[in-house]
Structure 1
Amino acid sequence: MFSLRGDVNAGPVVRLEAMSSQPDAAFPGVTPPPASATLMVRTTRIDDLPQDPGALLRLLPAEGALAWVRRGDGLAAWGEVARIETSGAARFADAERAWATMRSRAIVRDEIGLPGTGPVAFGSFAFDESSSAGGTLVVPRVVVGRRGPVAWITTLSTVDTVPMLGPVPTLDALRGDDPAVTSPGTVTYSPGAVEDDDWTAAVEEAVARIRAGRLDKVVMARDVVARTEHPIDARWLLTRLADEYESCWTFCVDGMVGATPELLVRSEKGLVTSRVLAGTIRRTGGEDADLARAAALAHSSKDLEEHEYAVTSVAEALRPFCQSLNVPETPFVLHLPNVLHLASDVTGVLCTATESGHTPSSLSLAEALHPTAAVCGTPTAAANDLIREIEGLDRARYAGPVGWLGGDGDGEWGIALRSGALDPDDPHRIRLFAGCGVVAASEPGAELAETEAKLEPMRHALG
C-alpha cells in the first residue's frame, strides 16, 4: 500500500510517502509512485451474488469495511490499496488532484461499464476546514457492486497480483475467513461535548441572533457518546440500518457509519441530482396521526421557511456547473421510520465544460455544495461563524460529504447524517450526532426533541 497524506503544518500540500524522489511536473509538490505501484483494475460480471437486499453487506469483513448501499444496490468493499489524506480549506481539491493523478496512471479492464465499476475510491470529509478530521479517500482492494440485475466484482492492486485475464477469484477466496457478526451487547449513553441545558441555551442565543437580523438560519448539532459491552462490529450497525432505513443510503467509510436520507450530489453521465431535506417532525407510530402530522409539516411556515433556504443554497451552488436546472416549487414529505421530512430533488444537466476547461467531477460538485443551508445555515459564512462560536463541539466528519468517486469522476456523495464516528482507539465507544435547523420561530425544547428523534437510527443500530 502507498499513502498520500495532507501536510497539516505546510497547508494544503499533498505528498506521497516512500516513493520515487523525482518530482511530478504535472502535480507540483508530489512525487509519483514507482512503476510497480501503477494501479491495476479489473471489473468482471458475477452471477452468484444473492438477490436479497442484504447480500452486499453480508460480504463485508469485520475490519476495514467500506459501504454505500441503498435498497440492496450499491457498493461494498474491503482492503486498502491506497489512501489519500488531506486537510484544511483545500481538502477536497487536494484529494481530487491526487485521485486524478492516480487514475490517469491506472491500467483498467472494465467489462461492465456501469456507474461504480472500474477504479473507485470511498471518501469522507470533515464538516469544517479547521477540524483535524480533514478528509480521506480510500482505494480498496476488492469492490463488489450491484445495480439492478447486474452484479460485478472489481479487484484493484498496485502490482500485477491479480491477472487482467483469466479466471476471476471467487468471493470466498477474496474474503478469506472472517468472524461472525457480533452484537455490541448492553449500551450506555452519556452526554457528549455539551450538556443538554447548555445546548438549549446555545439554541436560545442562536434564535436571538437571528431575530436581531444577524442571519436567517443556523443548524445546531449535538453529540452523544455510546459505550458498549462488547466491541462494536460495524457490520452489525450497517445491516440493522439497511433493514430499517432502506430508503436511505447506508454507508461506512473510514470510521463514519450511518444511514443518510440526504443525497448531497449524484453525478452520472452528465446528469446531476441533489436531494434536499430541511423541515422535520417526529412520527407518532400511528398511521392516521402521522398523516395528520405530514399535512401539518407541509403547511408549517417555520419548516417551509427552513426548507426554502436549503433548496436555494443548493440551486445557487449548482447553477454555475449546469446548462439547465430544475428546482421544484414545493417540497414533498419524505416518510422515514422515525421522522417526516420536507424534501426536494433538485436536478440538472452539467455543462460540457466549465471555465476550467473540463466537466466537474462529483467530488468537485460536493465541494461546491458543501456546506448547504440544510447542515450549516443562511448566509453560509455567518452561520458557520456562529456554529464555531456557540455550538461547543468539533463535528469532525459529521454533516460532511461521504460517498464514492469513480475513475470517470462520476459518483455519489451523501451528507453524513444519522451517523456515528467509531473511536479508533476504543472499540467500545462511538460518538452519535444529530442536528436541527434553527430559525426565528424555533423553540429550544422542541429543537432538542428533534435531535433526539434524529438519534434514533443509530440507537436502533446499536440495538
Structure 2
Amino acid sequence: MTTVPTTRRAAAQTVLQVATTPLDDLRSLIPYLDSRTPLLWQRKGDGMAGIGEALRLEFRGPDRIAEASATWRELAAAAHVDDAVRTPGTGLIAFGTFAFADDSDAVSTLIVPEVVIGRRGTRTWITRIHRAGDPPLTDRCEARPRTTPLGDEYRLTLLPGTLGKEGYQQAVAQAVEKIREHDLSKVVLARDLKAHLPQESDLRRALVELGLGYPDCWTFAVDGLVGSSPETLVRVHHGTVTARVLAGTISRGRDAASDRDAAIALATSTKDQDEHRFAVASVIDALRPHSADLAASDLPFTLKLPNLWHLATDVAGTLSDGASSLDLADALHPTAAVAGTPRSEAIELIHELEPFDRGRYAGPVGWVGGDGDGEWAIALRCAQVAPDGGLTAYAGAGIVADSDPERELAETTMKFRPIVEAFG
C-alpha cells in the first residue's frame, strides 16, 4: 500500500501506535521486501527491512533536511511506542532519502513503514506501526509477513546518459582550469548511465548482489534509490556521533603484489592526500559545534573494498547539544567528498558543468529513530529507479588542480562497477 504524502501540519496531528516484539528464526531480510518498492538498510546482514507505508513525508528546497528533522521530532513526541527489544532500529523509525541540490526536482522523503523486520547481532525483531484510530495490523494481516521467492533473472546494459565519456573529460578539463584560475581547491564532478528495467523486474535481485558483493558497505533501498555506499555520513547512538570520510581512490590490483602497490601508491599520492584533507576538514568543521571532544586520526588509512582502495578517516565524539542524526546530516550535507571546497563555489561549478539534476545521488540516505538516533550514508554507488522502470546511475570523482581527465574518467568507471554488476 502507498499512502498519500503527508504535510508537516498534518503530521503534527498524526499519532502513531508502535509495537516492537522479538522475532525468532530470522536468517535474511531481503526475502521479506516488496519486489518493486523495497525499503532496506543493511550492512553485513544486519539492518532493517520495511514493508508497506504507514506514513510518507515529503520535503523540497534548501531547508528540506531541517524541515524533516523538525517534523520528525514532533511526530516522534506524539507517538505511542511499546518497545520490548530496545536496540538501534527498534521502535519508531523512518527510512529517508534526500536530494543533493537545494533546487533539485527530486523530492526528499521520510517513509515510516507499516512493518519493520530487523536484526542486529543476535537480536531480531518485528515492529508494527499504524495510525491511532486504525485497526492494529495484527487484526488486518498475518502475525508474521511472508517471504516470497525472487523473481526471474534479468540483465541490463547501462549506456551513457546525459554526460558521455568525452563530455565528462571535457568537463574535468574545464574544472581544472577553473581551479587553477580561481580560489577553488576541489570540485566533485559526476556523470550518469541509463537503462530501463523490464516490466515486473524484481529489485531484490540487485540488492542481493550488492549485499553479497559489498558486505562492508551500507546496502540500501529507499523510494526507488538503490545502492551500496561505503561512506557513513553520520551515525548517532546514545549521545555518541561517528562518521567515516572517504576521499581518494585507486583501483584494486590484479594480484597480491600489484594490489599492495596500489594501496601504497594511494597512500603516498599528493593529489589524493590533498583531496582527502579537504573532505575531512569539511566534516570536522560541520560537527565541531555539536561536539566538544570531536577527534579524528592524524593520518588516513587505506580502506579495501572489492573493487577499490579508498583513503579513509574515522571521526568520533560526544554530542554536547542534543542534536539528532537528521540535524547532523543537515549540518554536514554536502561534504567536500561529494561537492568540493569551498562549498558554495564548488556547487556553483557543479551546476555549470553537470548537465543534469543529480536527484538523490550524493545526498543523505539512511534511517532515523524516534529518539533521533540513526545511521545516514552518502548515497554513492547507487541508481534511481523511476516508477516507469527508467534507471539512472551516477558516479563522480574529486577534481583538484593536478587532476588528469583520463584518470578521473577511469575512476568513475570503477565506481560504476557495483551497480553495473548488480543489474547486469
TM-score (norm 1): 0.87
Change (3 A) 1:76 1:163: closer
Shift of 1:195: 2.2
- Partner of 1:183, secondary structure, is coil
2-structure distance, mates of 1:411, 1:31: 21
Q: Which residue matches 1:334?
A: 303
Name the aligned partner's letter for residue 162 of structure 1. Answer: P
2:23 to 32, 46, 56: 46
Shift of 1:45: 0.8
Report if the CA contact (8 A) 1:60-1:78 is conserved. Answer: yes
| Aligned: 1:162 with 2:162 | no
Q: Which residue matches 1:89?
A: 62
Report if the CA contact (8 A) 2:3-2:53 is conserved. Answer: no
Shift of 1:314: 0.2
Trace 1:331-410 onto structure 2 (pairs within 5 A): 331-351=300-320, 353=321, 359-410=322-373
- Partner of 2:317, secondary structure, is strand
Residue ranges of structure 2 left out of the alignment (5+ in a row): none
CA-to-partner distance for each residue in 1:398-453, whole Å, 9 max, x for gaps?
Answer: 0000000000000000000000000212x2x3111100000001000110000000
2-structure distance, mates of 1:249, 1:434: 16
Trace 1:300-319 onto structure 2 (pairs within 5 A): 300-319=269-288
Number of aligned residues:
421
1:63 to 30, 36, 44: 36
1:299 to 268, 277, 283: 268
1:181 to 141, 147, 151: 151
Shift of 1:106: 1.1
Report if the CA contact (8 A) 2:99-2:359 is conserved. Answer: yes
2-structure distance, mates of 1:62, 1:203: 38
- Partner of 2:128, secondary structure, is strand
CA-to-partner distance for each residue in 1:59-89, whole Å, 9 max, x for gaps?
Answer: 2121331100000111111100100001001
1:121 to 82, 86, 94: 94
Trace 1:4-83 onto structure 2 (pairs within 5 A): 4-5=5-6, 14-16=8-10, 32-33=13-14, 38-50=15-27, 55-83=28-56
2-structure distance, mates of 1:229, 1:103: 39
2-structure distance, mates of 1:432, 1:71: 23
Identity of aligned residues (%): 47
Shift of 1:31: 6.6
Shift of 1:227: 3.0
Residue ranges of structure 1 left out of the alignment (5+ in a row): 7-13, 17-29, 354-358
CA-to-partner distance for each residue in 1:249-289, whole Å, 9 max, x for gaps?
Answer: 00000010000000000000000111000000011332211
2-structure distance, mates of 1:387, 1:102: 35
| Aligned: 1:440 with 2:401 | yes
By relative contact order (CA 8 Å, sep 6+), the higher-ranking structure is 2
Q: Which residue matches 1:261?
A: 230
Change (3 A) 1:228 1:61: closer
CA-to-partner distance for each residue in 1:176-220, whole Å, 9 max, x for gaps?
Answer: x746333223x2232211122122111101001111133000000
CA-to-partner distance for each residue in 1:210-235, whole Å, 9 max, x for gaps?
Answer: 11133000000110002345543210
Name the aligned partner's letter for residue 368 of structure 2. Answer: L
Q: Which residue matches 1:11?
A: none
Report if the CA contact (8 A) 2:395-2:416 is conserved. Answer: yes
Shift of 1:163: 7.3
Name the aligned partner's letter for residue 395 of structure 2. Answer: A
- Partner of 1:324, secondary structure, is coil
Report if the CA contact (8 A) 2:393-2:419 is conserved. Answer: yes
Report if the CA contact (8 A) 1:263-1:413 is conserved. Answer: yes
Q: Which residue matches 1:414?
A: 377
Report if the CA contact (8 A) 1:268-1:410 is conserved. Answer: yes
1-structure distance, mates of 2:190, 2:325: 26
Q: How large is the RMSD of aligned CA atoms in angstroms? A: 1.8
1:450 to 389, 397, 411: 411
Name the aligned partner's letter for residue 32 of structure 1. Answer: Q
Trace 1:244-255 onto structure 2 (pairs within 5 A): 244-255=213-224
2-structure distance, mates of 1:397, 1:276: 19
2-structure distance, mates of 1:232, 1:363: 33
Report if the CA contact (8 A) 2:150-2:205 is conserved. Answer: no
2-structure distance, mates of 1:229, 1:3: 26
Q: Which residue matches 1:24?
A: none
Change (3 A) 1:201 1:273: same
1-structure distance, mates of 2:162, 2:137: 50
- Partner of 1:76, secondary structure, is strand
Report if the CA contact (8 A) 1:40-1:160 is conserved. Answer: no
CA-to-partner distance for each residue in 1:30-60, whole Å, 9 max, x for gaps?
Answer: 7724xxxx2110000112212xxxx112221
Report if the CA contact (8 A) 2:194-2:392 is conserved. Answer: yes
Name the aligned partner's letter for residue 448 of structure 1. Answer: L
2-structure distance, mates of 1:181, 1:250: 20
Trace 1:196-211 onto structure 2 (pairs within 5 A): 196-211=165-180
CA-to-partner distance for each residue in 1:330-378, whole Å, 9 max, x for gaps?
Answer: 1111111111100111111100x3xxxxx11101100100000000000
- Partner of 2:371, secondary structure, is coil
Name the aligned partner's letter for residue 218 of structure 1. Answer: V
Name the aligned partner's letter for residue 154 of structure 2. Answer: P
